[in-house]
Structure 1
Amino acid sequence: MLPLRAIAVFHAAARAGSLTRAAQELGVTPSAVSQQVSALEVQLGTALLTRQGRRIALTEAGQRYLEMIAPHVERIAEATRYVRGSLSSGSLILRATPSFATKWLLPRLPAFLDAHPEIELRVDATNEPTDFAREGVDLEVRHGEGDWPGLVVEPVAEEVFLPVCAPALAAPGSLRAEELGAHRLIHSVKSQVKWAAWFAAAGTPMPAARRVLFDRSHMAVDAAIAGMGIALESTLMMGDAMADGRLACPVAAPPAIRRTTQWLVCPADRMRRHRVRAFADWLRAEALAWREQSLEKLKQPAENLVCS
């Protein structure tokens, strides 16, 4: 008989690199894990693990065996989650970047939930790209350039990158580009548009200004709202704060750098699921409405420049 239990325990131990951690994941004792692995080694006639204090290491045979069984064990785990309901017809698992999830998606989600009360939505906010072959994620809003072969990839919306700050720090349209260096500049280190590119577009050298750096756009936006300095951010991330007056563009006639940085991503077969199509259709409609409102706002003079 195929020792499925022992194979699953070996897989967990090899992935965890520790009998104790594997035991915690499986809800058993380290002794039980050790016994299952030993039983599997007897059946195979070779050692799979070596013990190094509290840690374990794979033997050469163990490494080869893990490589062969891992895809199948993970498929069985995914199938089990499906049957238990984590991938049931009523649930939708969405992965999105923290900034997009916080600043753009979350304020709009009530409309989707009200329109689809039959769908149970789970949002995982992370910048880690989804491995759709191994994870139970239905679809993802991913940050990047949009070049992910083998997946359905749709742009969410074209964004405009503008300098913004709290109106109390600098009045809307009150500064020239070369005057920004008198203020602290807020940098989003993972942004696809940096201050150097914006100053180049404005035709003025990058100033040696005071600066503060954040690795998440939502943190840079919140820092600007708090009056910490002037941020260069995307209208997709900060549009609501501009619409309600918490942020404004302090530069008269600013160069507007346009990019698409957020993409709807999933395997083609996911789009055959009703709940995925429902969310994708809703997201497209919301993004279109946001784009139309943003274009209308961007036609206004700099002193009234807001983007909803």
Structure 2
Amino acid sequence: MALPLRAIVAFHATARTGSMLSASQAIGVTPSAVSQQIQILENHVGTRLFSRAGRKVVLTEAGERYFDMIHDEIERIESATEYLRGHHAITVLNVRISPTFATKCIVPRLREFLDANPDIELRLDATNEPPDYSREHIDLEVRHGEGTLSGLYTEKIIDERMLPLCSPDYAAVGSMSVEELEQHRLIHSVKNLVQWPHWFDKVGHQPRRRLDRVLFDRAYMSIEMAAQGAGIALESHVIAAQEIRSGRLVCPLADPPEVWQASLWIACPHSHLRQHKVQSFIRWIKSLFAEE
């Protein structure tokens, strides 16, 4: 059976715009023609792709999966067509990256990469969920972890030193001992590989009292709470670099023990390394931390 290409285009336009009217205007046909093409596609695949919600249409679960699988290809076709009409070629680079690392380390310097690579359209997918490269259109990822990713190319970006950090108004630099830390509110980033109990264990101190804790699932929230003087966070010198440089965060220990986590990695399928866009991003992100 022939692939219903016109129906696929109508589906893509409707899913992207959220209405058949908008889709009809985008592809230059009537709304009834869009509706007819979607029905043809639903008959072809054997399942409903949309359900109605008032005047709008909403993707079903099957429709969402189908849209995720085809939308990058449709946009590549559009880009290739525009290029042949005389426009510049644009290459789309899809990068999955942890939200805090993106917010604190990548976005503030991202203009450097964009200015140096005007032919690349960058899409950052800020989530901690590991991608399924067989189904998702992700070119590479930057993730926290141990770096043991079966079947993938992995390369460590940098080791992170885990430091107790607080506002200088909360405690001055070098004003505390390790033993005194347990008397204060300790702020936890629950997704860090090194947590407060692990840190105390590594430095050889067992707290004698129940810790006063507050827990966050994003490090940027822990950093901000510490900077506001609400307690002491245990954070990476990489993730908190901006606040450390500006003086918003300081280490209250006179001689902080060296506790490290090797947790920032580049990962992608080996075949993706052949792509110029992937190599360009890898070189750039490694250059950010070369001096550190």
TM normalised by structure 1 equals 0.71
Matched position secondary structure for 1:142: strand
Where in structure 2 are the equivalents of 1:118-267 lying within 5 Å? 118-206=119-207, 207-267=209-269
Query: What does the per-residue CA deviation read over 1:49-91, in whole Å, with 9 as the maximum and x for residues that have no partner?
Result: 8xxxx9xx99xxxx9xx9xxx89x97655432322239x6433
1:187 is displaced (CA, Å) by 0.7
Q: For the residues of structure 1 that align with 2:3 and 2:109, how far apart are their CA atoms?
A: 49
Q: 1:2 aligned to 2:8?
A: no
> Secondary structure at 1:156's aligned position in 2?
strand
Whether the 8 Å CA contact 2:99–2:126 is kept in 1: the answer is yes
**Offset of residue 124 of structure 1:** 2.2
- In structure 2, do the counterparts of structure 1 residues 74 and 277 end up closer, same or farther at CA, with 3 Å as the change threshold? same
Q: What is the Cα deviation at residue 174 of structure 1? A: 0.9
CA distance in 1, matches of 2:44, 2:285: 52
Going from structure 1 to structure 2, the CA distance change for 1:139 and 1:197 (only over 3 Å counts) comes to same
Q: 1:203 to 1:276 in 2, by over 3 A?
A: same
Q: Distance in 2 between matches of 1:138 and 1:115?
A: 19
Q: What amino acid does structure 1 have at the position aligned with 2:235? A: E
2:78 match? 84
Runs of 5+ consecutive residues of structure 2 not aligned to the other structure: 25-31, 54-59, 81-88
Q: Hey, what does 1:306 align to over in structure 2?
A: none
Using a 3 Å threshold, how does the CA distance of structure 1 residues 41 and 133 change in structure 2: closer, same or farther?
closer
| Larger fraction in strand | 2
What's the secondary structure of 2:238's corresponding residue?
helix
Deviates more, 1:194-203 or 1:122-131: 122-131
Deviation at 1:205, TM superposition (A): 1.6
With over 3 angstroms needed to count, the CA separation of the structure-2 counterparts of 1:93 and 1:197, relative to structure 1, is same
Q: CA deviation at 1:121?
A: 2.4
Shift of 1:168: 1.0
Q: Amino acid of the residue matched to residue 234 of structure 1? A: S
Q: Distance in 2 between matches of 1:168 and 1:216?
A: 23
Are the structure 2 counterparts of residues 100 and 25 from structure 1 closer, same or farther at C-alpha, using a change threshold of 3 Å? Answer: farther
Deviation at 1:171, TM superposition (A): 0.8
Q: What do the CA deviations read for 1:178-202 (whole angstroms, capped 9, x no partner)?
A: 1112211101111111100111122
Contact residue 78 and residue 135 of structure 1 kept, 8 A: no
Q: Is the 8 A contact 1:198 1:255 kept in 2?
A: no
SS of 2:75 mapped into structure 1: helix
**CA apart distance, 1:92:** 2.3
Q: Which residue of 1 aligns with 2:29?
A: none
Distance in 2, Cα, partners of 1:271 & 1:90: 15
Aligned amino acid, residue 80 of structure 1: I
Contact 1:160/1:234 (CA < 8 Å) preserved in 2?
A: yes
CA distance in 2: counterparts of 1:247 and 1:116, whole angstroms: 34
Return 5+ residue gaps in structure 1 as ranges.
13-20, 291-308
Higher helix share: 1
Match of 1:268 in 2: 270
- CA distance in 1 between counterparts of 2:16 and 2:240 reads 43
**Deviation digits for residues 137-170 of structure 1 (CA, Å, limit 9, x no counterpart):** 2221112222222221111111111111011101
**TM-score in terms of structure 2 length:** 0.75
SS of 1:174 mapped into structure 2? coil
User: What is the distance in 1 between the residues matched to 2:220 and 2:153?
Assistant: 27
Between the two proteins, the alignment pairs up a number of residues equal to: 269
Q: In 2 relative to 1, CA 202–278 (structure 1 residues): closer, same or farther, beyond 3 Å?
A: same
